[in-house]
Chain A
Amino acid sequence: MLRPAFARNRYRGKLIIVEGIDGSGKSTQLSLLSQWLRSQGVAVAFSEWNSSPLVRETTRRGKKKEMFTATTFSLIHATDFADRMERYILPMLKAGAVVCADRYAYTAFARDVVRGVGRRWVQNLYRFAIRPNLAFYFRVPLEVALGRILGGRDAIKFYEAGMDLGLSRNIVESFRLFQGRILEEYEAMAAAMGFHVIDATAPIETQQREMREVVLRELGESLNSAVLRTAEAPIHAA
């Protein structure tokens, strides 16, 4: 699989993203990382998947009324992503902030392909995205992730479970099969996309320590010089 032709990040700010199936613990880790960076006096901006105020209503209505096809589902999420990119992520990067994104174009690459959309088509769709400086992939066995999700949460929703694919009439079974296929896609792209793979079954503290080590190693210099700071103290391991 070829690495997609994202535009290089040539701005002062840095882009750190996390990927993984639901229940991989990526959001928790990103949150801890953001807090740590902020505590070190780095200006941090946060963006999560499916959150554009401009597009949210349309996505919500489409999901509720089950109006989506594989193509329109893919396109509306790309629209949401484009809005966040153009009006938030890019300006923040230009201003020198570290942008932490929970999910990125790779979510679409994995999920939309499982829905039946063309691989090259969806990779081209996201060509306007900026290449992340760091992409963390939280690797977790399917059953572990499912246990976390199915254990203590609200009911799984139609598209979340991939019910539109007709994998199973049972929503839990559908969710399992759907997430399983997404997991395969992530695994297949991990090397080509340059993911830093984190063992998501390790203790939370261990995972976080590893993330911070990677950040210091890869971005330490920029964090101390180019990036926008809210305080003057140099970055150090917490």
Chain B
Amino acid sequence: MPLKPPLSFYGDPLPNIETSELQGKLFVIEGPDAVGRSTQVERLRAWLEQQGHAVLDTGMARSALAGRGIQQAKEGHTFGAVTMTLFYATDFADRLENEIVPALRAGFVVLTDRYIYSLMARAIARGEDRRWIEHVAGFALVPHAVYYLRAEVKHLISRVVTGRGQFDYWESGMDAGLSRDMYESFVKYQTRLVRALDSMSRKYDFTVIDASRPPDAIFQDLKRYITALFRRVRRPAPRGQAS
């Protein structure tokens, strides 16, 4: 994907935002639960800062507006599927308008742990209408790059068991009623999530990274891609060549 302003929106633009003013870079790290996204975001952040970039990192359910409400709803296990989707959409919109856009305007590199793709995948995994949630999510900015850390469900299971050591109600999608057993539910739910993300790969131009490898290998890949992106900005491709 060429790296040049102005950024665009997927659908109808958010009111009052002049995208030509947004000089920073928007990178998204996507992938299912337990695939190791936050580890990679931490490392990337340190590396980018070392390279002299100002970095903002942001992730789901962390908005000033809706973060707390989502947390409480999760603790109470009281979320309907549409309600959950919209609460997360509110959270995302708040972060987009109040954190991401100002950071981009200031020339920051914004590292986003998950974006509208996970939001959509979770809705789809719960049986919600794909076109509905795509339209709702249309106010999102098109990122400069989306790095999809892809892994098979059996790999995710192994990470949960050897890493965290327990299955989580929400990561297992227990609210979706796929199974009364946490493990069975995890398998079914995460399979749906991965399938949904896979189906978005081409449409949303994901850079797919094999996340079944050790974190170091994944990190090296990410560094390589991002370095190449920045290089393309500094030295645009000569005429007649693909960028």
Contacts and interface: CB of A to CB of B under 8 A. Distances in A.
Interface of A: 52, 54-55, 57-58, 61-62, 67-72, 75-76, 78-79, 82-83, 85-87, 116-118, 120-121, 124-125, 127-128
Given A54-B83, A83-B83, A117-B15, A76 B78 contact: no
By secondary structure, the B interface counts as: helix
B183 interface: no
Contacts of A79: 83, 86-87, 89-90
A79 B93 CA distance: 13
Contacts of B16: 116
Interface of B: 11-12, 14-16, 64-66, 68-69, 72-73, 76, 78-83, 85-87, 89-90, 93-94, 97-98, 128-129, 132, 135-136, 138-139
B81 A69 contact: no
Contacts of A70: 15
Contact of A121 (B80, B83, B90, B135): B135
Nearest to B131: A124
Nearest to B136: A125
A144 B78 CA distance: 42
Nearest to B95: A72
Given A54-B83, A75-B86, A69 B69 contact: no
A151 to B, nearest CB: 34
B90 A75 contact: yes
A104 B61 CA distance: 27
Contact of B12 (A54, A121, A127): A121
B1 to A, nearest CB: 25
B60 to A, nearest CB: 15
Contacts of B76: 54
B82 A54 contact: no
A72 B97 contact: yes
A87 to B, nearest CB: 6
Contacts of B90: 58, 72, 75-76, 79
11 contacts: A55-B83, A58-B66, A58-B68, A58-B69, A58-B90, A72-B65, A79-B86, A87-B78, A120-B135, A121-B135, A127-B129
